[in-house]
Amino acid sequence: MRAVEFLDKNEVQLAPCYLLQGTDGYIVRSVVDKILSALPEEDREFNYDEFGEEAPVADVIAALETVSLTGGRRVVFMRRRNRAFSPEEKRALGSYLSAPNLDSVFVVEDSPGRYTEYDDAFFRIECKEPSPDEMKRSALARIGEGGCSVRPTALAKLVSYCNGDYGRMIAEARKLCDYADGGEIDEDAVDALVAPDSDYRGYLLASAFDEGNGEKALGMLAAMQSKGEPAARTLYAITSSYRKMLHCAISDLSDAELAKATGASLASVRTTRNIIAARKRSVPGYVVKLKEQTEYLYGLEYKFKSGRITDENALRLAVGKLLAVNAR
């Protein structure tokens, strides 16, 4: 079953064992949350266990065999494992899967080749990037739940702007519903509230650097590079996002005027100004540092465009500078 189909179900009849296949981490987490939503809300905190790569299989099985404190079902999630199972772990896992505890739900994040011999024991869910048609169906479902309607052209633009990012599309659909307040969502609303994917990813990457979350920034950068994003485009996205953040930090223009001047959406200007206000309070000399970084990025972009350095070297220098300056 495709993950989007599973997530769009109103009610879930739980299977004993699930294998979540694919690499979209957000969708994997969304499927786990959907499975958890089948438990009574008051039971979820006490009847959920999550295990990482290094967890012994014996501990995972012990959790699966533990009697629920509230008398309901338990959910046990074993995240992606790159470490191979020992012979003893393989036997224990095979023994459990041949006769699973029906009072527990075992959710496993797949690793290539790790669970092939147990395939018949699992209900498989493909946690992969959804197709445009799947995105449209899910967006329509969320917008309908919000009591709104959407024009076909606006729906197509929303899906295009989100570019296969299911989690973002759901969040944007809900935001559009709040804006429409029971009315119809048109193209103007999408343009006002939703940034195109390339701008959005550039802003998120710049924001991760700015908040001092180097691990998150490097993870996002690796994901962009794995999709073939050119270094020059990534550098431009970071630089333009820093320019917009600096304008939000120092400009006296109204939100609407600044959005028009920078080409950003009104919602993104408001959000960025709120974030920057908080960082001004928590980071000494924040605006001065932001200005210095923006000027440094512009300098790198000029060196690249004038042929003095390659776009790859410019991006490497930018990343090194932003990581060093914003280390918390």
Reported as a single tens digit per residue, the pLDDT across 11-22 is 888 999 999 998
Instruction: Taking residues 216-238, report their average pLDDT.
Output: 85
Q: Where in the chain is the domain with CATH 3.40.50.300?
A: 3-126
| Mean pLDDT for the chain overall | 87
Of 2, 10, 1, 4, the closest CA to residue 170 belongs to 4
Task: Write the CA distances from 326 to 42, 213, 223, 301, integer angstroms.
Answer: 40, 8, 21, 20
* CATH architecture entry for 132-193: Orthogonal Bundle (1.10)
Q: Where are the beta strands (DSSP E) in the chain?
A: 17-21, 48-51, 74-78, 104-109, 123-126, 149-150, 184-185
Reported as a single tens digit per residue, the pLDDT across 102-152 is 999 999 999 878 888 887 899 999 988 788 888 898 899 889 989 999 999
Reported as a single tens digit per residue, the pLDDT across 45-88 is 888 999 987 889 999 999 999 987 777 889 999 998 878 889 99
CATH top class, domain 197-325: mainly alpha
Nearest-angstrom CA–CA distance, 323 and 320: 5
Give the per-residue pLDDT at 220.
86
| Assigned CATH topology for domain 3-126 | Rossmann fold (3.40.50)
Longest dimension (CA), the chain: 69
